Amino acid sequence: MVTKPPVSDVDDSGMTVGAPKRFAAGVPAILSTLKHAGREMGVKRSAQTLLKVNQKDGFDCPGCAWPEGDHRSPIGEYCENGAKAVAEEATLRQVTPEFFAAHSAASLAERTDFWLGQQGRLTHPVYLAEGATHYTPISWDDAFGVVAEELAALDSPDQAAFYTSGRTSNEAAFVYQLFVRAFGTNNLPDCSNMCHESSGSALSETIGIGKGSVSLQDLHEADLIMVVGQNPGTNHPRMLSALEKAKRAGAHIVAVNPLPEAGLMRFKNPQRPNGIAGSGTPLADEFAQIRVNGDLALFRALNRMLLEAEDAAPGTVVDRAFVDEHTSGYEEFAADVRATDWADVLEATGLPRIQIERIHERVLKSRRVVVCWAMGLTQHRNSVPTIREVVNFLLLRGNIGRPGAGVCPVRGHSNVQGDRTMGIYEKPSATFLDALEAEFGFAPPREHGHDVVDAIRAMRDGRVKVFFAVGGNFVAATPDTPATEAALRNTALTVQVSTKLNRSHAVTGRRALILPTLGRTDADVQASGPQFVTVEDSMSAVHASTGRLHPASPELRSEVAIVCGLAERVLGDRVAVPWRDFTGDYDLIRDRIERVIPGFADFNARVRVPGGFVLPHGPRDERRFPTATGKANFTVNALEVLRVPDGRLILQTVRSHDQYNTTIYGLDDRYRGIKAGRRVVFVHPADLAALGVADGEVVDLVSEWKDGVERRAPEFRVVAYPTAKGCCAAYFPETNVLVPLDSTAEVSNTPTSKSVVVRLEQRA
Ligand SMILES: Nc1nc2c(c(=O)[nH]1)N[C@H]1C(S)=C(S)[C@@H](COP(=O)(O)OP(=O)(O)OC[C@H]3O[C@@H](n4cnc5c(=O)[nH]c(N)nc54)[C@H](O)[C@@H]3O)O[C@H]1N2
Ligand SMILES: Nc1nc2c(c(=O)[nH]1)N[C@H]1C(S)=C(S)[C@@H](COP(=O)(O)OP(=O)(O)OC[C@H]3O[C@@H](n4cnc5c(=O)[nH]c(N)nc54)[C@H](O)[C@@H]3O)O[C@H]1N2
Ligand SMILES: [Mo]
């Protein structure tokens, strides 16, 4: 079956385009918070939930993974977009069996994710039988029976794939990977494969651990913070408070981005008097409006200049003591980087040389440097080399493993980092598997499994026949939408453990199940009483999260209960794991985590201390680098300029201010001046003039890749916008159709969602 992709089922005829904003937050953010919260939850539930977000006795915000700090505001430690995430989950609307009786699966496939998300919380397990047109209610027992039957019918456990999105708690993630490995496969693709995988790959190789090395305190103490390829005003709004604090303590900020994002420019902190009435705090001291994909060139240029400054005044620029004692590969790196060609740098970055020199001057004056980054660095073909070059930059001046300095990959989903720590990884280390084997007495599979892109290929080719997802919206989040949809439709069974309806429920295998689950905000009561779960933030702090709301329906089960119930049904007594005890008391799961995963000693006691605890991190704590060489590694990273044919632009796919990945909260992108619409493409006025396209015109976006296939996203309104020249931007997931499945990053295999070559095709 082929369904028509939903162009739009929302009325965007009233779309308006205004000027981009020059500051983030302030009063408009407060008003937007109240509007979303009130609409979804009503006044009482809003007050009940918003007061508990990120408090030490409350629940972890289901929004981003930015850490909470010790001094929490008693009236609200959340942001506008955190409030939208909470409202989205705690909504009073419901998707009941009657809803499924009224809407066929095929009709749902013609809806946008915006419409689907607006229908409310899922209340019952439902089943789409083979050949059926509608989902119908099914008991939990029968649902587990369907999964067990399909898994038993496989020739090999490797014919199943088990996806995870990053909201899953540590406890659920741990039992999930345990079940999957006991079943017999490492096919554990997760959203991280599309997100910070490039950071994990580059950091593991160079510093020996795939996680950031800074704390909030480090940001507050830094002299220079570089925010590269990240839009914190929208995606990590609480980070603006940390930047503001650093600024007030004298730090300088350099923002590197093709777009002049409002949150990088000025912050009106709604929790400070001057944020409400005054003009707020200016953030970026330097805004480098880089061409998409120019970052490797920028950091190579900065590194070259640092080496030249060292030549001019030996012993004053490079931290020789650190380099000699703690690093490897310096000479080879230095020889290569000295040969960096300025012409290439200027072409790749599109920046004036004088600005790069100014940034260099700031670096020279700064003893403590932090580099923060997100998707603007991770979703390109050369993302891993780019991030390695960032590491080179920090290593040169010893900016790792001391206060006020380090690497800060800012994570996305609230527990995506914790899920990895718990073993949600298709390439587990031998050490991890040995520990699992010692604890649970079965031999886990050793062969590496499929990541996201490989899982799609395997479904397409009939090598994976059962697709199971704990959370997320696989169909909409992945690249090459028609190819991915065909792959999923080629399976025997798709199962989605979800809180809300989304497109992945409408694009199914021969049979399908939707299993409704409790979210972060919901009270979770099991045999031993009320439970809490734990999560790990972007800075390796682990803490408890306790939901308190009355669940949408008594049929909802926790993710732990679903995974353990299914494991018991599928595995019977093939392994000696007390699944039922685990469900009854999550402390018992934490006891096992403590025995398998380093850093969790005394887990149950330490996580009950308000605020939790921080996991060990060799480079951060003691300048110990657990790499292959036992040292931090300098690397050599080739500079290739991304050139596009005449008349083409590099498209980057971004988030609007009113969405959480594939969950669309609303149709405004306040900071970029867009109201009541999403099908827009932001292009520089000079490019429009050269292309002969007018602002306001409607065009198709057509991507061109070396496989010769033309991928098309129809009907986007052109918005003249001050982006970097030669580049354009449009929202994800509407533009995922344009990203070729096989266009992925070297090493990390992450889809290249930030560098897609497109042309704008005028509609007849
Ligand atoms: N409200 C809200 N919060 C979220 C999310 C959400 O959707 N909504 N998503 C969560 C998740 S999973 C993640 S991963 C994070 C994502 O957080 P971000 O990475 O901030 O998200 P994007 O919208 O992808 O923004 C990418 C930024 O990089 C810039 N950029 C693009 N290409 C380049 C480049 O080549 N070089 C440079 N220097 N910059 C570039 C873009 O202009 C944009 O500002 O946010 C998390 N938090
Ligand atoms: N073109 C393009 N594509 C991208 C990106 C991009 O920048 N550009 N970004 C990529 C990135 S960074 C990421 S992280 C991925 C995101 O990929 P995913 O994580 O797969 O997608 P989400 O939209 O975050 O998933 C939303 C769904 O999660 C479910 N959900 C929410 N809370 C819970 C919960 O507590 N439990 C369970 N079981 N389910 C829950 C709801 O049903 C909701 O519909 O997308 C990637 N795709
Ligand atoms: Mo992400």
Q: How far apart are CA 507 and CA 736, in angstroms?
A: 16
Are both 536 and 485 inside the same structural domain?
Answer: yes
Residue 44 C-alpha to ligand 3 middle, in angstroms? 32
743 Cβ below 6 A of ligand 2: no
Residue 18 C-alpha to ligand 1 middle, in angstroms? 22
Are both 688 and 553 inside the same structural domain?
Answer: no
Residue 375 C-alpha to ligand 1 middle, in angstroms? 5
Q: Who's near 434: CB < 8 A, 6+ residues apart? A: none
355 SS3 class? helix
Q: Which ligand 1 atom is nearest residue 64's CA?
A: 47
192 SS3 class? helix
Residue 235 C-alpha to ligand 1 middle, in angstroms? 7
Instruction: Please give the pLDDT value at position 2.
Output: 44
Single residue among 410, 427, 451 that ends a domain in this structure: 410
Are both 217 and 335 inside the same structural domain?
Answer: yes
Are both 149 and 203 inside the same structural domain?
Answer: no
| Number of domains present in the structure of the chain | 4
Are both 106 and 39 inside the same structural domain?
Answer: no
Are both 517 and 459 inside the same structural domain?
Answer: yes
656 Cβ below 6 A of ligand 2: no
Nearest CA to ligand 1 atom 39: 229
Nearest CA to ligand 2 atom 12: 195
Residue 733 C-alpha to ligand 1 middle, in angstroms? 13
Ligand 2 pocket test: which of 170, 383, 498 has the largest number of ligand atoms within 8 Å of its C-beta? 498
Instruction: Please give the pLDDT value at position 519.
Output: 94
Are both 653 and 702 inside the same structural domain?
Answer: yes
Single residue among 371, 389, 410 that ends a domain in this structure: 410
477 Cβ below 6 A of ligand 2: yes
Single residue among 602, 619, 636 that ends a domain in this structure: 619
Is residue 9 in some structural domain? Answer: no
**CA 732 → CA 3, 93, 267, 683, 754, distances in Å?**
20, 25, 25, 16, 10
Enclosing domain of residue 430: 94-195+415-619
Q: How far apart are CA 724 and CA 670, in angstroms?
A: 20
Are both 420 and 498 inside the same structural domain?
Answer: yes
Instruction: Please give the pLDDT value at position 277.
Output: 66
Nearest CA to ligand 1 atom 10: 412
Q: Who's near 502: CB < 8 A, 6+ residues apart? A: 113, 116, 117, 473, 476, 662, 663
466 SS3 class? strand
Nearest CA to ligand 1 atom 15: 412
Instruction: Please give the pLDDT value at position 3.
Output: 47
Instruction: Please give the pLDDT value at position 577.
Output: 98
Instruction: Please give the pLDDT value at position 618.
Output: 96
Is residue 112 in some structural domain? Answer: yes
Give φ, ψ of 144 to 5 degrees.
-60, -35
Ligand 1 pocket test: which of 33, 190, 230 has the largest number of ligand atoms within 8 Å of its C-beta? 230
Are both 172 and 68 inside the same structural domain?
Answer: no
| Dmax (CA) of the chain | 76
Q: What is the pTM of this model?
A: 0.96
478 SS3 class? coil
Nearest CA to ligand 2 atom 37: 471
Instruction: Please give the pLDDT value at position 234.
Output: 94
650 SS3 class? strand
Mean pLDDT by runs of 10 across the 764 residues of the chain is 56 85 79 77 75 77 77 61 83 94 96 94 98 98 98 98 97 98 98 98 98 96 98 93 94 97 87 72 94 98 98 97 98 98 98 98 98 98 98 98 97 94 98 98 98 98 98 98 97 98 98 97 96 95 93 96 98 96 98 98 96 95 97 97 96 97 94 95 98 97 95 97 98 98 98 98 87
